[in-house]
Amino acid sequence: MEKYDSIVIGLGPGGASALYKLAREGIKVLGIDRRREIGVPIQCGEFIPQYHEYKKILPEVDDPYLEIFSRMPMKLVSNKTRSVSVYTPSGNEYSVDFDGYVIDREAFDKWIVKEAVDYGADVMINTVVYKLDRDGTVYARGKTGEFKVIGDTVVIAAGTSSTLLEQVGLFREVDELNLGHVINYQMAGVDSDPSVVEMYTGKDYSPGAYAWIIPKGDGLANVGLGIRYPYVDGEKDINVYMERFWKKHPIASVKLRGAQPLSYVGGLVPVGPPPDKTVSGRFLSVGDAANHNIASLGAGIVTSSIAGIAAGEAISKYLDGSAELNIYEDLWRRLLGRALDNGYKLRLVIDLISKNDRYTDLFMEVVGKDRIYDLVYTRAPTNVDLLKIAYNIVKG
């Protein structure tokens, strides 16, 4: 049985970033992914903030943890956006300046893995991990059958639907309240402003979440939405919501009138609180597998990558004997804890006002544009208690 210093399960942004960091530190590391091709299918809206915006959203994150994004070649960027517009259910638009990139997520995931390979990482694709033993034995099934490898340390970065965590004593909140079911079409022929990311709220289209038009330029856009089942009153099929948003939304349908889909994906986004425990024995959880996702937005590309780099650093220190493995907990909490907590608090506000479209409109009227900044920058304001305002609106 081949032995590695570290094995990374899942090569999305979280796992790939851990693989990269470990390989760069000279550690013998293997990355495994069940996909036949890294980054495919693209289960993503592909939107990330530009580098100077992370500095505002995540001021605690020092430059080395953002290495993936500072080094990312510009050819991975499909489009640059300048603002975000949020539409309330009655169609009021609140717009804020915000510099973003729409990346080519397939190329992005592949690029991180390629960089890791350049530093010496081993990679297996088309290989599913189905069992873990506490001693670090990883049981996998690949093209040529079943096999085992063993790792001194093992990173679980296998995304939202991973069932591997429970096998090693890790846990996170993934009940239906804490889970967004999402769908995304890449569409051509979209007639929206290519510099604006659009977010739409309203129970008829995205109960408990939001719908989006994320422009990729040249009439291409990611068009999608999320739903959370505790907020769904009638129709349960997410495709019906998507069809309604595309064809019937009073504002979006005008922009999507001539649009046609080029691809379709569904997926899950964790919107629960960060877990208490992300290290158990020699195992660490990273990215969506650890709810490292900004719950109010369902955004996890950047946060997962930062957690991946932090995991790589913690493992590297553990292997050279300079630290315990669980420094990873302190590290990711120092870097991401405030933003993830704020995202979760903002999500609790969204929970209250999502119960009724009138509440969402009223809430926006009361708190105004500044709170859209708070939502986009994941700030929990200290001078106003948003939860109290939302609660008072709901109570009439």
Ligand X SMILES: Cc1cc2nc3c(=O)[nH]c(=O)nc-3n(C[C@H](O)[C@H](O)[C@H](O)COP(=O)(O)OP(=O)(O)OC[C@H]3O[C@@H](n4cnc5c(N)ncnc54)[C@H](O)[C@@H]3O)c2cc1C
Does 206 participate in binding ligand X (rule CB under 6 A)? no
Compute the half-sphere exposure of residue 44: CA atoms within 13 Å on the CB side of its CA: 24
Contacts (CB under 6 A) with ligand X, residues 18-47: 32-35, 43-47
Does 343 participate in binding ligand X (rule CB under 6 A)? no
Judged by CB, which is closer to ligand X: 10, or 275? Answer: 10
Q: How far is the CB of 199 from ligand X (least distance, A)?
A: 11
Q: Which residue among 6, 192, 206, 304 contacts ligand X (CB under 6 A)?
A: 304
Binding segment (CB under 6 A) for ligand X, from list 91-99, 144-152, 156-164, 203-211? 156-164
Q: How far is the CB of 210 from ligand X (least distance, A)?
A: 11
Dihedral angle computed from the Cα positions of residues 237, 238, 240 and 244, in that order, rounded to the nearest 10 degrees: 150
Q: Which residue among 7, 8, 11, 179 contacts ligand X (CB under 6 A)?
A: 11
Binding segment (CB under 6 A) for ligand X, from list 73-81, 262-270, 314-322, 355-363? 262-270
Does 12 participate in binding ligand X (rule CB under 6 A)? yes
Judged by CB, which is closer to ligand X: 11, or 196? Answer: 11
- DSSP per-residue letters across 164-229: SGGGGT-----SGGGEEEEEEEEEES--S-TTEEEEE--TTT-TTS-EEEEEEETTEEEEEEEE-G
Does 128 participate in binding ligand X (rule CB under 6 A)? yes
Instruction: Pick left, alpha or beta for residue 10 (phi over 0 → left; psi -120 to 50 → alpha; otherwise beta).
Output: left
Which pairing describes strands 196-200 and 211-217: parallel, antiparallel, or unpaired? antiparallel
- Looking at the DSSP assignment, which residues form a beta bridge with residue 94? 86
Does 10 participate in binding ligand X (rule CB under 6 A)? yes
Judged by CB, which is closer to ligand X: 33, or 329? Answer: 33
Does 162 participate in binding ligand X (rule CB under 6 A)? yes
Contacts (CB under 6 A) with ligand X, residues 375-394: none
Q: Report the C-alpha gap between 379 and 109 in whole angstroms.
A: 28
Judged by CB, which is closer to ligand X: 81, or 361? Answer: 81
Does 177 participate in binding ligand X (rule CB under 6 A)? no
CB atoms within 10 A of CB 131: 13
Q: How far is the CB of 103 from ligand X (least distance, A)?
A: 9
Place of tokens 């209250």: 352
Does 275 participate in binding ligand X (rule CB under 6 A)? no
Q: How far is the CB of 18 from ligand X (least distance, A)?
A: 9
Q: How far is CA 73 from CA 23, 90, 111, 172, 201, in A?
A: 20, 40, 9, 34, 34
Q: How far is the CB of 275 from ligand X (least distance, A)?
A: 13
Q: Are 38 and 114 spatial neighbours (Cβ–Cβ below 8 Å)?
A: no
Host H or E run for residue 40: none
Contacts (CB under 6 A) with ligand X, residues 47-66: 47-48
Q: How far is the CB of 347 from ligand X (least distance, A)?
A: 14
Q: Report the C-alpha gap between 296 and 270 in whole angstroms.
A: 10
Residues that bind ligand X (rule: CB under 6 A) add up to a total of 38
In the chain, the N- to C-terminal Cα span, in Å, equals 65
Closest CA to 380 of 347, 332, 331, 352: 347
Q: How far is CA 81 from CA 192, 193, 315, in A?
A: 12, 9, 36
Judged by CB, which is closer to ligand X: 174, or 367? Answer: 174
Interface residues with ligand X (CB under 6 A) are 9-15, 32-35, 43-48, 128-129, 157-159, 162, 182, 184, 224, 265, 267, 269, 287-289, 293, 298-301, 304
